Amino acid sequence: MKQRIQLDELLAESRMPRSRRLALFAFVCLGVLDSLARGVIDSHGAVRLFFHADNGLFVRRQLRSKAADRIMSHGVQLSDLVDVLPPDKARRETAKEIEAMRDLCWKLLESKRLVA
């Protein structure tokens, strides 16, 4: 995928409740993480596609969720792991980061289900 996912375009609907925007964020993020885990995209591609600065700022300013902010923080670091660690260690650490981000996404979805 050549074009970046722009959360401000995808989730900026002003009438959409914040809880729904957070749920959509979590679903999109889970798709990106699954693509990364399956090798459809690599760590650098995931950062270019989704975990880029524009989306990080949108999450911080508009979604205002500690869990979503943590997901973006973990995601931004994915390409750094590949750049600085030996390949085997980078794969293990990337897998751990993906799992941590998945857990945060599921927690977001569960908390929104309880509220809804």
> pTM for this structure?
0.90
Taking the C-alpha atoms of residue 56 and residue 4, their distance in angstroms, rounded to an integer, is 13
Mean pLDDT of 29-41: 97
Which tens digit of pLDDT belongs to each residue from 48-83?
999 999 999 999 999 999 999 999 999 999 999 999
% of the chain beyond a pLDDT of 70: 93
Percent of the chain exceeding pLDDT 90 equals 82
Return the structure tokens found at 13.
């609907």
Q: What's residue 107's pLDDT? A: 95
The backbone region for 64, taken as left when phi is positive above 0, alpha when psi lies in -120 to 50, beta otherwise, is left
